[in-house]
Structure 1
Amino acid sequence: MQLVLFCGIQATGKSTFYQQQFFHSHVRISLDLLRTRNREWRLLQLCLETQMRCVIDNTNPTRAERAIYIEPARAAGFTIVGYFFQSATAEALVRNQQRPLERQVPERGIRGTRNRLELPNRAEGFDQLYYIQPLGNQKFAINDWQDEVH
């Protein structure tokens, strides 16, 4: 039983990373896909009740927003794995412009999320935590998180 929690501003590769790493093994819980917090919460509850591995594919920029998922998953006996996606605003804005028009996020949305971004820490309840760097061509570098470095 595993809950994977993504963290990072829009256009940093979270959904692409999900497709590459977790598509065949984990349910994707995404507010972009589900459209309402109620649907998101209901799907999370179903995954927790049925002990289904899942990925929270949202920006999750603050400790408080991450706790909404970490606390119930921990109570259900899940292992919590976090992935922080490198969040350079200028690079995200370029990648956002390369998306199809219907998938682009307004620039103010990306900047607003960046302004709220709090770096994750193992003390939040993560059993494992990783730092993801987009390398281009839909490739990623995956590194262990170092709390004292970030």
Structure 2
Amino acid sequence: MEAIIFCGLQATGKTGFYKEHFLQTHVRISLDLLKSRYREDLFLGACIKGTQPFVVDNTNPGAADREKYIQLAKQHKFKVIGYYFQSILKDALERNSQRTGKAQVPKVGVLNTYKHLEIPQFSEGFDELHYVELGPDGFTIKAWNHEI
């Protein structure tokens, strides 16, 4: 079973990447969708109990944010895979400004996430790490090289 954890600023393509690569195979766990940590914990617990592959589609900017998911997944023998989304602040703010309604995150929210952004490390417990770029022609997945 796989536990996939996304990391990156808002408006870097995480949800679109989920739809393109995991919609048919993994449950999406997202605070944007579930609206509370309580509901998130219920979904996460159901995936663990039912050995259902899942994707945590949140910003997860720091190691402390990712720790809960990694520890729980490892404890239940899930393979833990991380995808770090290229998080160039200027680009994320530009894409975010093109969003409408509730999809648009207040600028201060993006800036706050950027301030707490830490590059994921294998030492956190990841079995695999990948680097994702969002370009004009879609997503490019690159090999992890520790020098993002």
TM-score where L is the length of structure 1: 0.96
1:104-129 alpha-carbon deviations (Å, 9 max, x no partner): 00001001000000110111111110
What are structure 1's unaligned runs of at least 5 residues? Answer: none
Q: Percent identity?
A: 45
Could you say which residue in structure 2 is the equivalent of 1:10?
10
Q: CA deviation at 1:18?
A: 0.2
CA distance in 1: counterparts of 2:69 and 2:136, whole angstroms: 30
Query: How many residues align structurally?
Result: 148
What are structure 2's unaligned runs of at least 5 residues? Answer: none
1:143 matched to 2:107? The reply is: no
Runs of 4+ in structure 1 over 4 Å off: none
Could you say which residue in structure 2 is the equivalent of 1:103?
103
- The 5-angstrom pairing of residues 1-150 of structure 1 reads 1-137=1-137, 139-147=138-146, 149-150=147-148
Report SS of the residue matched to 1:9: coil
Root-mean-square deviation (CA, aligned residues, Å) is: 0.8
Q: CA deviation at 1:136?
A: 2.2
1:77-126 alpha-carbon deviations (Å, 9 max, x no partner): 00000000000011001101111222100001001000000110111111
Tell me the amino acid that sits aligned with residue 12 of structure 2: T
CA distance in 1: counterparts of 2:102 and 2:36, whole angstroms: 18
TM-score where L is the length of structure 2: 0.98
